[in-house]
Amino acid sequence: MLTNEDIQKIIEVVATKEDVKELKEDMSALREMTQSLVISVDKLVKALDDLRTEYASIISQNNRHEKWISQIAQKVGIKLEY
């Protein structure tokens, strides 16, 4: 037969309903934080992709302007120095 002392030892070792409930709450909080981090990283990736696209557009525009400046300089007879 189990004594109160034996039952107390078992309670200390085995998870109680309160322990399980606390773990579920902790897991729920971790899940929410993880979801929040995923959303934040997703926004950063989107912003980075937008910046890459804009940067490529700016490079193309800059190259076009350089070409136009060279053409104008040739027609006007100015030698450009870099």
- Rounded CA separation 36/50 (Å): 21
- Give backbone dihedrals phi and psi of 2, rounded to 5 degrees, phi first: -85, 140
More confidently predicted of 36 and 80: 36
User: What pLDDT score does 20 carry?
Assistant: 86
- Look at residue 4 and tell me whether its pLDDT is greater than 90: no
User: What pLDDT score does 12 carry?
Assistant: 81
- Tell me the three state secondary structure of residue 4: helix
Tens of pLDDT, residues 28-48:
999 999 999 999 999 999 999
More confidently predicted of 24 and 82: 24
- Look at residue 10 and tell me whether its pLDDT is greater than 90: no
User: What pLDDT score does 27 carry?
Assistant: 95
